[in-house]
Structure 1
Amino acid sequence: MTSDSSISRRALLASALPLAASAHASEGQTLTIAAFPLVDEIVRAAIPAWQKRHPEVELRILSRQYSDHHTAMTTALSTAVALPDVMALESSFVGRFAQGGGLEDLRQAPYGVERFRERLVPFAYDQAIARNGAVVAMPADIGPGTLIYRHDILAKAGVQEAELTGKWEDYVAAGARIKARTGAYLIAHVQEIKDIIIRGGLNAGEGLYFDTQSRVLVNSPRFERAFEIALLARRQGLDARVSAWSNDWAEGFKRGRLATELSGAWVVGQLNSFIAPSTSGLWRAAPLPENGAAAYGGAFYAMPRRAAPERKALAWEFMQLMTLDPRLQLQAFKDYDAFPALLSTHEDPFFDQPLPFLGGQRARQLWREAARRITALPVHKQNQFAEEVVQTELDKVLLRDKPIRAALADAEQLLQRRALR
């Protein structure tokens, strides 16, 4: 299930799924779980395991579309009205919600979440740590970043995988050969390139856009290079200029017009299931260029601090079931491509099985290794706004020929004013 902008790709897909909710309990206790599509299905699949533990406690699943869910949770936390017992959160929202103080600190008694830290993928656990040290959520699944490419298109262009995974400049040069020899675009949109590059070369205490002291980081060599590579690819006509999860994006995959994609490992399952199943066997997975390590989404479970105290023990037990039970974690991976955050599952033989969609490649081994190299990034309360500012300036560079240094200087100035609020 992601980088904040990249994370939203799976969220957009999930938001297209139908709204659903389980029936209210007719008697006995009811534990309310608020979730968004895909996560709600994983919770629903876990009901039999929960009923074995607590047949007297009904799980009530409140499912809203992705954006509606997180908006509703924001309102519920700020007003303490209609709070669920447990809320699912997409990874990009965990840091934002953590700063508000509305989520239970799971370090405190009787929870003691820190005893589970070594059992979970390090970066996923770290994502849920607030600035004051509070641990506000438990990770269930993650989205290790990967590059996928059309093996047949590369063969036709005479391009090798190593040319895609080396320097970013080599990736772009390979894209130019692919376009010239096959007509296929290298990528859907150069924004994807920018999103990966800005996540590389970070120093301790640095987030994407701000450091831990709220200093703005966008007017830097890291962002300058990201803009330069994106502009280089655009000037050579290597991106299709289509947004992820749009109809044109899906058609690009179906018709072989997109040679590569930079995304979370879960995108393979989405392509295989319904986006472009006819292309099965034609794809391969590879590391991100320059051996980059990035996360694309993930789901967490959190407990509102002002939720009903009489059900908090049950809520905590449910959260542990969903995040620490190897059988449920593996089942969610097999059924919903929810890459598990529970480390013990990573040794299961399922990770060694070939993927027919990827021509028999054992790609889960690649993604497992990538997951262990990802590091959590400090989340600033203005990250979402910063992302919009940076993307607006990139658009000005791409579409209006604005000088890159001027664009980043303007972004820095605007963000400096906002960071002081």
Structure 2
Amino acid sequence: MVACVVLTAAVASCGTGGANLTADGKIELTIATFNEFGYEELFKEYEAAHPDIKITQRKTGQGAPHHQNLFTKLGAGSGLADVEAVEEGYLSQVMAKSDQFTNLLEIGPADATPDRWLKWKADAATTPDGKLVGYGTDIGPLAMCYRKDLFAEAGLPSDPEEVKQLFATWDSYFAAGDRFVAKMSGVAWFDSAAQIFNAMHNQHDVGYFDRSNTLVVESNPDIRSDWTAVTNAVSRGQSAKLTAFSSEWNTGFKLGRFATKTCPSWMLGVIETQAGPENAGKWAVTEAFPNGGGNWGGSYLTVPKQSRNAGRAAELAAWLTAPEQQIKAFQAKGTFPSQVEALENRALLEQVNTYFDNVRAGALFAAQVQKVKAVQHKGPADGQLQENVFGPALQSVEQGKRADEAWDTAVKEAKKAVE
């Protein structure tokens, strides 16, 4: 049941007035997502229960193009989907334009209140005056994935319990990487310098911006320390030098080009999709993560005021982010739920991932969530700095540029991004 009010002329009522209709008279709701949300089967389930609804998904392979499209169409005033997914790194930009999104507390179902989610998850999508801009989908508690067969071939421990010593700290992780590449010709320790750097960066209380939204890239010693550790590992041959979510990166999973992968919970679905059935059982996941874990990633579903049927769109978004559906999404693609009730659900805690050597992935990541007491503040252009500044800068180091020169470039580009 939807509690629906008309906020502005741009927000449609709960009825069908102004809605997009299909040839057979159904209400078409569009939803724009990226990477893997695990919603494909849920869409079918929702349509079966709502025969007047037709869901059209616009799915982008990577987050950056999706968000570029979102902000372009937001500025143009037209062209957005009825439901738009927003990744946490871009949420601050959406919150700065919150007047262009519906207040889900007013237009959404009455039971979709902030206490459905972990407090820090809901707080991030709530404006200072109490408007809820996004329904939380997943979060990204961190664990470590690795290739058991490649570890064994290199003479490293391969059992999930035994490998914990290798992943205790970042120092021990990179030390193990030195041992691995010394034994394995043509196989790297990790996939991408940017992926390692991002995981390290997300562990800190303060990242690219402080809580007053001041850029602190140059003055934050943690960022420079992470940069040095990662680029030193690159210089010692530990990186496969792949760009995340590129076709070469996808192929790298299938061909075993690297042995470890920083694994927020949503990465399990990515690995299974890209590594393929021929590598089932070769990948394992352990709860151990260097320096204790953290959160990397997670998204929200928003309803722009451009939506021609915002009430029905909010109803769909609320249903997709209800505990029951988020558990199904996790079972489908490893997107770990952010809903309090879901985290205690037996179906989640007893869920077994057959691809990853029958690990009880639900219980593993539920334990990792408990290690996250707060999350890093994401300031303006945080996602842009991650994907368009530091990612390319680290790639340039992998391609031969001096690390100190690449750092200077990254700092300059970061300052330009927030001018």
Q: Compute the TM-score of the two structures, normalised by the length of structure 1.
A: 0.78
2:55 is equivalent to residue 74 of structure 1? no
C-alpha separation in 1, matches of 2:69 and 2:397: 36
Distance 1:320 1:246, change over 3 A: closer
Query: Secondary structure at 2:263's aligned position in 1?
Result: strand
Distance 1:113 1:90, change over 3 A: farther
How far residue 142 of structure 1 moved from its aligned partner, in angstroms, is 3.1
Amino acid at match of 2:353: L
Aligned to 1:259: 259
Amino acid at match of 1:294: N
Aligned match for 1:189, one of 175, 192, 200: 192
Unaligned runs of 5+ in 2: 1-19
C-alpha separation in 2, matches of 1:196 and 1:39: 19
Distance 1:303 1:282, change over 3 A: same
C-alpha separation in 2, matches of 1:413 and 1:271: 34
Asked if 2 retains the 8 angstrom alpha-carbon contact of 1:35 and 1:89, the reply is no
Residue deviations 1:160-199, cap 9 Å, x none? 4123321211111111111223333211122222112222
Query: Secondary structure at 1:213's aligned position in 2?
Result: coil
Query: Secondary structure at 1:380's aligned position in 2?
Result: coil
Asked if 1 retains the 8 angstrom alpha-carbon contact of 2:85 and 2:302, the reply is yes
How far residue 112 of structure 1 moved from its aligned partner, in angstroms, is 8.4
Asked if 2 retains the 8 angstrom alpha-carbon contact of 1:121 and 1:371, the reply is no
How far residue 32 of structure 1 moved from its aligned partner, in angstroms, is 2.1
Asked if 2 retains the 8 angstrom alpha-carbon contact of 1:33 and 1:88, the reply is no
2:174 is equivalent to residue 172 of structure 1? yes
C-alpha separation in 2, matches of 1:210 and 1:258: 32
Distance 1:86 1:232, change over 3 A: closer
Aligned to 1:85: 82
Residue deviations 1:334-379, cap 9 Å, x none? 2333332323223223432433322222232121222344434333
Aligned to 2:268: 268
Aligned to 1:199: 202
Asked if 2 retains the 8 angstrom alpha-carbon contact of 1:151 and 1:282, the reply is yes
2:360 is equivalent to residue 362 of structure 1? yes
Aligned to 2:140: 143
Amino acid at match of 1:30: I
Residue deviations 1:301-341, cap 9 Å, x none? 21113544xx4433332222111251x33332223333323
Distance 1:218 1:177, change over 3 A: same
Aligned to 2:92: 95
C-alpha separation in 1, matches of 2:300 and 2:269: 20
2:339 is equivalent to residue 342 of structure 1? yes
C-alpha separation in 2, matches of 1:83 and 1:133: 24
Unaligned runs of 5+ in 1: 1-22
C-alpha separation in 2, matches of 1:259 and 1:361: 18
Distance 1:261 1:134, change over 3 A: same
C-alpha separation in 2, matches of 1:261 and 1:212: 30
Query: Secondary structure at 2:321's aligned position in 1?
Result: helix
Amino acid at match of 2:184: T
C-alpha separation in 1, matches of 2:383 and 2:38: 28
Amino acid at match of 2:212: Q
More helix by share: 1
Moved more, 92-101 or 236-245: 92-101
Distance 1:393 1:64, change over 3 A: closer
Aligned length: 385
C-alpha separation in 2, matches of 1:333 and 1:90: 17
The aligned runs of 1:230-241 (5 Å cut-off) are 230-241=230-241
**Percent of aligned positions that are identical:** 21
Distance 1:59 1:259, change over 3 A: same
C-alpha separation in 2, matches of 1:301 and 1:76: 17
Aligned to 1:215: 214
Distance 1:411 1:303, change over 3 A: same
Asked if 2 retains the 8 angstrom alpha-carbon contact of 1:126 and 1:376, the reply is no
Amino acid at match of 1:215: T
2:383 is equivalent to residue 380 of structure 1? no
Asked if 2 retains the 8 angstrom alpha-carbon contact of 1:39 and 1:299, the reply is no
Residue deviations 1:200-225, cap 9 Å, x none? 231xxx4x211132322212220121
Measured on the aligned residues, the alpha-carbon RMSD in Å equals 3.3
Aligned to 2:117: 120
C-alpha separation in 1, matches of 2:35 and 2:199: 25
Amino acid at match of 1:42: Y
Asked if 2 retains the 8 angstrom alpha-carbon contact of 1:39 and 1:88, the reply is no
